[in-house]
Structure 1
Amino acid sequence: MKTDLYTKIVLTIIAVALTLNLVKSSITPAMADTKKYVTVPVNADGSINVNINKVNESMDVNIKNVDRSAFYYVMPIPVTLAK
């Protein structure tokens, strides 16, 4: 009999905690971060103009490591150099 009462009490506590968690999440929605976002002007062909200022010499770019899943759902970005 005590095992049945103990089980009912534990399950009731779990049910109350889950209900409170549901109510709490509906009152204050979860926020991933508080960063501000801006729009970026995109050309008609989908490219973006990038200007690098104050560079008097060539830039050495070395990619050391890329996670295999980083580009799973991403289309490649074509890069062209204008001189």
Structure 2
Amino acid sequence: MKTDTYTKIVLTIIAIALTANLFKGIITPAMADSRHYVSIPVNADGTINVNIKHADGPMDVKIKDVDPYAFRNVSPIPVRSN
């Protein structure tokens, strides 16, 4: 009898935890990843067309926030100016 009562208590606790987990998932949906990605069309030779609207002199590029792993498995992009 003791084992039967113990088993019922443990299974009841597991059922309550699973039900609470179900409702938690409904209230706050899970986010797999917080990173955002953008698809950019690439030409057949691997170049990307860029249209610069205003450039009166040298352009300062300031990157404020980049994920440290953003460029881990990416090869560098060669840049040409015409």
TM-score scaled to structure 1, two decimals? Answer: 0.48
Q: Greater relative contact order (Cα 8 A, min sep 6): structure 1 or 2?
A: 1
TM-score scaled to structure 2, two decimals? Answer: 0.48
